[in-house]
Amino acid sequence: MAERPVDLGWFRILAEIGRLGNLSSAARALGLTQPAVSYQIRRLEEQMKVSLLQRRHRGVELTAEGRRLFDVAARTVGDVDALARSFRNEAERSTVRLRTDYAFSSLWLIPRMHGFRQLYPGMDIQIVATQFVEQGAPDASDAAIVFGSRRELGGHGILLLPEKVVPVCSPGFAERHGPLGTPERLSAARLLHLDARGTPPWFDWTSYLDEFAISRNAAAAPGEISFNTYSLVVQAAVGEQGVAIGWMGLVDSLLASGMLVVAGPMVEASDRGYWLAPPKEMTEETGRLIAWLQSEVATA
């Protein structure tokens, strides 16, 4: 159904008369009666105390004063109609919302978003980053990338990044505090920690060292720092503050650039990691985003 034009009163009536040169034609175009159009023009002429139209055998013609007023009215009608179309187009454009945590959004997603923008330059995306993304299916129109286990998310999610971690630090820290490289040496190093509510569902330093049957005396390495977001942990590692647990997929570019180096053996939990939870109501735009995410992971 065609959009109803914005009511602009006599502006639109005069613009149509000037465009069509006929009262009856203007009335039909506006969905009005010819007497109603004539009445509006008479009232306008009385208010302005000028004649706006000259009646001709086959229609009407604008007077000099009518032409001047028509120029203003036509320009105003055109500007308002263009703005109204813009408003309607913006309201009709769908926005895909993707919920995820700070670490995934800042270290994996944002560095790759330029590729998505090149593929779909006109698609609107809202990235909603929060420290803790609730597990389970996202809202009806949202997609989510959530850290969890197969037991928690395998029923409706798609595993994007299985959990694989390696200790990482800056080259300068490794040079000053090395040699590192083994779990035994790491247990005596200054470590950087990510705070979690209760027992973390990912590898922390305790569970990492448990993989090698090593218990650690934290008092042996004073001056350690804890952070409430993983992005800060990584920044501290780059800043030569200590050794961090590096999630593969999140720190790959920093390792490739040499800003971080591997400081110990890898461990993994194949049933844990970042899961893509599709929305309940899939749209064409959401499908594009999900397909792109899976493609990026597959080619990484």
pLDDT in tens, 162-182: 999 999 999 999 999 888 999
Domain ranges, residue 196 = 97-299
pLDDT grade for 125, boundaries at 50, 70 and 90: confident
Same domain, 76 and 105: no
Q: Residue 270 domain-assigned?
A: yes
Among 76, 92, 108, where does a domain finish? 92
The CATH number of residue 270's host domain is 3.40.190.290
Co-location of 264 and 215 in the same domain:
yes
One domain, residues 178 and 149: yes
Q: What is the mean pLDDT of residues 153-160?
A: 83
Confidence band of 139 (pLDDT split at 50, 70, 90): low
Residue 132 and residue 85 share a domain? no
Q: Is 4 part of a structural domain of the chain?
A: no
Look at residue 137 and tell me whether its pLDDT is greater than 50. no
Q: What is the mean pLDDT of residues 1-11?
A: 69
Exposure string of 269-295, with b = 16+ CB inside 10 Å and e = fewer, is beebbbbbbbbeeeeebbeebbebbee
Q: Residues near 106 by Cβ (< 8 Å), separated by ≥ 6?
A: 129, 231
pLDDT digits (tens, 9 = 90+) for 88-98: 766 556 678 88
153 three-class SS: helix
Please indicate, yes or no, whether residues 172 and 272 belong to a single structural domain of this protein: yes
Residue 179 falls inside a structural domain: yes
**Is residue 154 in a domain?**
yes
Q: How many domains does the chain have?
A: 2
pLDDT of residue 270: 87
Within 13 Å, how many C-alpha atoms sit on residue 184's CB side?
A: 0
Phi/psi at 235 (5° precision): -60, -40
Task: Express the helix, strand and coil content of the chain in percent, nearest 5 each.
Answer: 45, 20, 35
5 occurs within a structural domain: no
233 and 146 part of one domain? yes
